[in-house]
Structure 1
């Protein structure tokens, strides 16, 4: 067999495994809560790895190693910021959100939770939240499809559109039929594949570069400051990269995992697994880049087509073509896991937060599940249409959308979990201010090059939410009762 044949075999096995998981999850899905939230039955390992896989996307295996390879360890601050943000998210958001969403009308989406938590009868907050999710995630999904098309184009020389259709078809199939369970189980497997690949490449790569000492010497020959965390950085630059961690509090496709875990007690174990996976995976991505610098310094006759391809290139050099194919599957897994997570959250926003909130029909669960599947299909078609013309500006929207979600939802989620006096007017005002700040700041190059837009967006949203809430606060016995009940249940489960 040729190298490409081995690689394609590995990719096909991976794709078939995803479809089998989708079929298995389809058989376990019977109602809307199952389809949108997996029946709140996820174990800690599945919750942790599925949240990590949904979070990282292709950035973990391509973007981060490429940045470190090209510019040095100064680019690692974003990994540090993300790790701190993810840890705080697991520690402060996960347990409370798991309990509060069940206490407050057994909410199964973030917008429905906010509406129920703040007792807003007009549905304005829920609809606005649903629209924000629908808008940002349609482009988010589209960017993932672009990445899938480019992956097949660059790895196998396939037509861009063929690659886009293959990736989109498989992801849509298992997400559409299997719902949240399929997304979570496939994300777990994809997270495991990404983790093993990121550990294996730098470890075996070190044998090729002569060990740690020779690797460090080779890196210093390329650039004496390449291993410095501070070379080429500024104070505002470090703040901007660390601030990526703020985005976690407002990412619907990540925090929805907290709502689906089987119990609060499981969140502690899930946090340990999730943060352990994240630290080792990020460390592996950084180590891959550094080993790559040393390897290409020691082999000047070889050249790297693109810094972002360093993980893929080393995987093909080090391992047998079939294992190299699994390394390619790991990249594909990173892309597909994020697409599927965003699709299911967008589907839930369409059905649970827009259709049910506006139409207000009393249909059967089976009808709503089928509507959820239809929503997945419609959003996928729209996203694929946006991705049909390969467009780098869509890919750039990933960091923009991360800031948008973090600034608009983050402060509201945190305050809703820890502060009794937050009001629907305060939450809505803060979300609008956060979103507008990100849009305005992010569209001015001189501002974005100085400070990442999530910093002013998050700060102004937080201030606005607090100020407007204090101005509009009125005691509400039901809100007080639910808040106290959440705290009581948390304390009981932690004993």
Structure 2
């Protein structure tokens, strides 16, 4: 069996495992809360790793190592900003959202929570939030499909559209049938694969480059500034823009919905420790992979044609083709975990926040679960159409969507070249939203006994850790 066949065999095993998990989740899904939120039954480990895997996508195994390989540790500021943002999200948002969403009429989506929390009789907040999620996540899903198509093209020589269809078909299958449980369980396994791959490649790579001392010396021989977080080329605006990626966590439905699904608020602390530990080690592994790659090519007088493939190339050099195939599966896992998470949240927004709110339809859960599955399929088809052009820019789609969830300001700032090239649009977006939220809250505040009772009950439950 050729090396390429060993790798393809590993990918097939991985995909069959994803479909098997989807079938298992399908059997366990019996109502709308199960389909959209897993029945609020996730344990801390599944919650933590599924949130991490849903967050990182292919950027963790390709984008970040490629940026570090080319430019050095100055590119690590994004990783630092993301880690800080994720920690604060777990610390402040997770426990409060878990309790408050259940207190406010057992809300199962972020828009429905806002609707119930604020007593919006017009349903405007719910519908508008649902539409925002629908628009931006369709672009986000599309970016993942682009990455999937390019993955099969670069790894196995498959035509771009063939790869796009394969990835889309498998993800849609287990998401459509298994819902939130399938997404969470597959994300958990995918998170483990990503973690093990990112730790194994640089660890074994160090033996290849002569250990830490020789590796550092080789990197400095390429560029003395490569290991400097603050090289002469760094700018304050550039560092702020990189750190600001961490602000996006507070507005990412596919991440914070995991907080709503954990089995109890007391488990959010353990989930936070697991999640941040996973994130820090995985980011460190991605950075170390790039640096080992720089040292390896310096020592062997070679040249890496595409910096974003450094993880793939090192895996093929270090390991048997089947193990290298598992490394490839880690990249596919990163891509697919994000697509599935976004698909289920988009489906939830369509059913719970747009369909129900607009038509005020009363039906049994089987009807809504069916509509949810149809929504997954429709969104996937639209995203695939958007992704059909192989020249689609993954980074621009992701960056725009990531900022767009924070504020509509991203539309304006992101489209003005002189502004977007100076400062990432999420910074002004976050600040404008913060100011508007405070002003509107102060101006429109009116005492409401039932809202205050819900708030007080939430505070009590948080203190009791229930």
d(CA) in 2 for partners of 1:296, 1:265? 48
d(CA) in 2 for partners of 1:367, 1:9? 39
SS in 1 for 2:107: coil
SS in 2 for 1:392: coil
The answer on whether the counterparts of 2:147 and 2:394 sit within 8 Å (CA) in structure 1 is no
d(CA) in 2 for partners of 1:386, 1:371? 23
Cα pair distance change 1:395/1:242, threshold 3 Å: closer
Match status 1:236 vs 2:237: yes
CA shift for structure 1 position 395 = 4.3
d(CA) in 2 for partners of 1:64, 1:389? 24
d(CA) in 2 for partners of 1:44, 1:50? 10
Residue correspondence of structure 1 range 77-116 to structure 2 within 5 A: 77-116=77-116
The answer on whether the counterparts of 2:144 and 2:394 sit within 8 Å (CA) in structure 1 is no
Q: 1:155 aligns to what?
A: 155
Q: 1:427 aligns to what?
A: none
Could you say what the CA RMSD is over the residues aligned between the two structures, in angstroms?
0.8
Residue correspondence of structure 1 range 87-486 to structure 2 within 5 A: 87-231=87-231, 232-300=233-301, 302-393=302-393, 395-405=395-405, 407=406, 434-435=407-408, 437-486=409-458
d(CA) in 1 for partners of 2:149, 2:30? 33
Q: Alpha-carbon deviations, 1:63-122, whole Å to 9, x = none?
A: 000000000100000000000000000000000000000000100000000000011100
The answer on whether the counterparts of 1:99 and 1:489 sit within 8 Å (CA) in structure 2 is yes
- State TM-score, norm by structure 2: 0.99
- Please list every run of at least 4 consecutive aligned residues from structure 1 whose deviation after the TM superposition is greater than 6 angstroms: none
d(CA) in 2 for partners of 1:277, 1:325? 22
Q: Alpha-carbon deviations, 1:301-336, whole Å to 9, x = none?
A: x32120100000100100000000000000000000
d(CA) in 1 for partners of 2:67, 2:393? 19
Structure 1: gaps (5+ residues): 408-433
The answer on whether the counterparts of 1:139 and 1:394 sit within 8 Å (CA) in structure 2 is no
d(CA) in 2 for partners of 1:274, 1:88? 12
Report the count of equivalent residues.
465
Q: Which has the higher contact order (CA 8 A, sep 6+)?
A: 2
CA shift for structure 1 position 394 = 5.3
d(CA) in 2 for partners of 1:211, 1:335? 31
CA shift for structure 1 position 392 = 2.5
The answer on whether the counterparts of 1:54 and 1:337 sit within 8 Å (CA) in structure 2 is yes
d(CA) in 2 for partners of 1:439, 1:233? 27
SS in 1 for 2:361: coil
d(CA) in 2 for partners of 1:484, 1:239? 37
d(CA) in 2 for partners of 1:143, 1:245? 20
